Amino acid sequence: MQILDPQEMNEADRLAAAGGVTTLQLMRNAGAAVARVAFERFPDHSRIDVLCGPGNNGGDGFVAARLLRQSGCDVRVWQNAPARPGSDADQVAREWDGDVGTLAEFQPDVRALVIDALYGAGLSRALAGDDLAAIQRIRQNGCRVLAVDLPSGVSGATGAVLGYALKADCTVTFFRKKPGHLLYPGRELCGALVLADIGISDAVLHLIKPGLWENGPALWQPHLPKPNATAHKYRRGHVAVLSGGATSSGAARLAAEAAARAGAGAVTVLSPPAALLPNAAHLTATMLRRVEDAAAARTFIGERKVASVVCGPGFGTGDWHGSMVASLLRVNETALVLDADAITLLARDPGLLQDRPTEAAPSIVLTPHEGEFGRLFPDLAADTALSKVDRARLAARRAQAVVILKGPDTVVAASDGRAAINSNGTVWLATAGSGDVLAGIVAALIAGGMPPFGAACAAVWVHAEAGREEGFGLTAEDLPQAARRVLARLISR
Ligand SMILES: NC(=O)C1=CN([C@@H]2O[C@H](COP(=O)(O)OP(=O)(O)OC[C@H]3O[C@@H](n4cnc5c(N)ncnc54)[C@H](O)[C@@H]3O)[C@@H](O)[C@H]2O)[C@@H](O)CC1
Ligand SMILES: Nc1ncnc2c1ncn2[C@@H]1O[C@H](COP(=O)(O)OP(=O)(O)O)[C@@H](O)[C@H]1O
Ligand SMILES: [K+]
């Protein structure tokens, strides 16, 4: 599903109004959705404190307050500043027939539900004064919080906290999710997220053309590789994985195993002479090839029609490794998945990426975690105004590559600006070697014929789903088989 940034959401609002649903009606629908969620999710709270800000977020709060009172709840409203005269928020505030206390007077009661309608998409600066003090009191008091659109203090555009923010048990947002609902720390501060229909037609999306999605099978499932009955192993896709030295060759084998389990028809580990023995001792279905130098690797890749190459896991960062990466970047028609040490090598010599002749260059997928990203793109990593989506997009454009910026809220970005935020991750993936498995899955899906952006999105989701299914105590060795099961289900659907 598409994700809208706050400007796009305003545009959706405007287009809906142009299509005949007034902004006042949208506000009434939004407030009604909040009241419904309060009833359904917090049935034991007959006392409700609604905190209203000066903008439309506050307007939603006034609508919810009136409906909840009509339904028999004991509702009190507290406001920090009046709405602009003549605005929709002003109109619905005047329809509220109860008292309005000042936010400074508000004292949270742990038995009451707080509906936070102070600030939503319009938050423009850090909370201060009475707002900040009220939010601190609520957090200290520990009462349950239902946030309207966003917990106050969280940026909808980036998920960052502007100074200090409320932590909600549940957040109701409207029409489409915003980046701040899926990017940390916003994701955690939202609690359970409810997406409410407020009467905006999906047709507005044809005009807005958002380029950001929540990652999920709807984005790429039809493009998963499905070999026809007469395919042979090389036509299903041949993946090569570059091995590191004798004592660090396990990472390449994990990537190779993952590529095979994710559907590659053939997988070859390209091993420097020093690592041949440990590789030979561990590999069975996966083939093994000795490569002394970059020329030997390139010859093998060309002759054996390798469709994608994984380089980086456990690879090494010496001169030999640097010349291998430089050489791979000049191979045409073979996709490259560059992870870990390969990213460190690129960071040491940024010219390698920049000087590529783009018309002949291979497709590249870079899979940095935040540390590797900071090495390769230090200026983007240091710019605190950028969201994780912005950083991944700018990096993808600069590198002319697909970038998988990993973490609990992995972002996949393409050089043309398309991006997806992954939301099915699990902390159990934070285990050594898990990234190596991801690189192998990406390579297999590209080798099977998927375009790199779709392959990257699919791999990230499948990898995360595999992690969820294995759960506590998983090791990277468990992930390829679990990913196979996830993919098998998706392909048979
Ligand atoms: N866009 C849409 O389609 C809809 C939006 N709705 C609601 O409208 C909200 C956005 O409304 P607004 O754009 O009016 O924005 P908000 O209501 O979030 O806040 C805007 C107001 O707060 C002030 N402000 C921002 N940060 C502040 C701070 N830290 N301290 C003090 N004042 C601050 C601004 O100057 C402005 O006056 C959404 O979050 C949602 O709740 C709904 O009414 C329904 C439809
Ligand atoms: N807290 C987390 N929640 C969800 N996924 C995570 C979390 N931490 C790490 N991951 C995922 O686990 C993988 C770790 O990869 P990486 O950092 O390269 O580790 P390694 O080099 O040990 O393989 C990535 O896919 C990343 O997105
Ligand atoms: K809010």
57 shares its domain with 183: yes
Other CB atoms within a 10 A radius of the CB of residue 332 amount to 10
Q: What is the 131 CA–ligand 2 centroid distance (Å)?
A: 37
Position in ligand 1 atom list of the atom nearest CA 156? 39
Same domain, residue pair 61 and 203: yes
Answer yes or no: is 243 within a domain. Answer: yes
413 annotated binding-site participant: no
The pLDDT of 66-82, averaged and rounded, is 97
CA distance 33 to 157: 22
Q: Which CATH number covers residue 368?
A: 3.40.1190.20
pTM for the full model? Answer: 0.96
Asked if the structure places residue 13 within a domain, the reply is no
pLDDT value of position 357: 66
Confidence tier at 358 by pLDDT (50, 70, 90): low
pLDDT category at 12 given cuts 50, 70, 90 is: very high
Q: Where in the sequence is the domain holding 329, given as residue range(s)? A: 217-492
Q: Are 195 and 13 in contact (CB under 8 A)?
A: no
Q: Please report which ligand is nearest the Cα atom of 127.
A: 1
Q: Which of 180, 208, 236 is the last residue of a domain?
A: 208
Q: How far is the CA of 327 from the centre of ligand 2 (A)?
A: 28
Number of folded domains that form the chain: 2
Q: Is the per-residue pLDDT at 359 higher than 90?
A: no
How remote is the CA of residue 55 from the centroid of ligand 1, in Å?
A: 5
What lines the ligand 2 site, CB under 6 Å? 340, 369, 406-408, 410, 425-427, 429-430, 432-436, 438, 463
Residue 19 lies in a domain: no
pLDDT tens-digit map of 255-294: 999 999 999 999 999 999 999 999 999 999 999 999 999 9
pLDDT (tens digit per residue) in 213-248 = 999 999 999 999 988 888 888 788 999 999 999 999
Does the residue 385 lie in any domain?
yes
Q: Quote the tokens at residue 342.
A: 């390969």
Q: Are 426 and 461 in contact (CB under 8 A)?
A: no
Interatomic CA distance for residues 226 and 106, integer angstroms = 60
Tell me, yes or no, whether 93 lies in a domain: yes
pLDDT at 231: 80
Extract the runs of DSSP E, i.e. beta strands, from 80-231: 100-102, 113-117, 144-148, 170-174, 192-196, 212-214
Query: What residues does ligand 1 touch, defined as CB less than 6 Å away?
Result: 9-10, 12-13, 26-27, 30, 53-60, 119-127, 131, 148-149, 174, 198
Residue 275: inside a domain:
yes
Same-domain check for residues 175 and 239: no
Average pLDDT, the chain: 95
Tens of pLDDT, residues 158-217: 999 999 999 999 999 999 999 999 999 999 999 999 999 999 999 999 999 999 999 999
Which of these ranges, 11-15, 82-86, 231-235, has the smallest mean pLDDT? 231-235
Nearest to 103 by CA among 135, 125, 63: 135
Say whether both 408 and 271 belong to one domain. Answer: yes
Q: What is the pLDDT of residue 230?
A: 81
Domain with 102 in it: what CATH number?
A: 3.40.50.10260
Taking each helix axis from N to C end, the angle separating 250-261 and 479-492, rounded to the nearest 10 degrees, works out to 20
User: Whose atoms come closest to the Cα of 58: which ligand?
Assistant: 1
Give pLDDT, residue 464: 98
Say which DSSP state 429 is in.
G
**275 and 376 share a domain?**
yes
Is residue 400 domain-shared with residue 267, that is, in the same domain? yes
Whether residue 236 is found in the same domain as residue 193: no
Instruction: Tell me the CA distances in angstroms from 68 to 82, 148, 171, 383, 471, one per residue in order.
Output: 21, 15, 17, 43, 40
Which domain-ending residue is among 160, 188, 208?
208
- What is the mean pLDDT of the segment spanning 397-409? 96
Question: What's residue 239's pLDDT?
Answer: 98
Q: Is there a single domain that holds both residue 128 and residue 170?
A: yes
Q: What is the mean pLDDT of residues 352-371?
A: 84
ipTM: 0.94
For residue 46, what pLDDT is reported?
A: 81
Ligand closest in space to the Cα of 32: 1
Domain boundary among 208, 232, 265: 208
Contact 60, 46 (CB under 8 A): no
Q: Are residues 371 and 227 in the same domain?
A: yes
Report whether pLDDT(449) > 80. Answer: yes
pLDDT band at 360 (very low <50, low <70, confident <90, very high): low
In a domain, 6, yes or no: no
Reported as a pLDDT band with limits 50, 70 and 90, residue 331 is: confident
Evaluate whether 241 touches 270 at the Cβ level (below 8 Å).
yes
Of 352 and 140, the one with more pLDDT: 140
Q: Are residues 150 and 268 in the same domain?
A: no
Please give the distance, rounded to the nearest whole angstrom, from the Cα atom of residue 62 to the centre of ligand 2.
43
Q: Are residues 142 and 267 in the same domain?
A: no
Nearest residue (by CA) to ligand 2, atom 5, is 408
Q: Do 376 and 449 reside in the same domain of the chain?
A: yes
Phi and psi at residue 329, to the nearest 5°: -65, -10
Residue 232 lies in a domain: yes
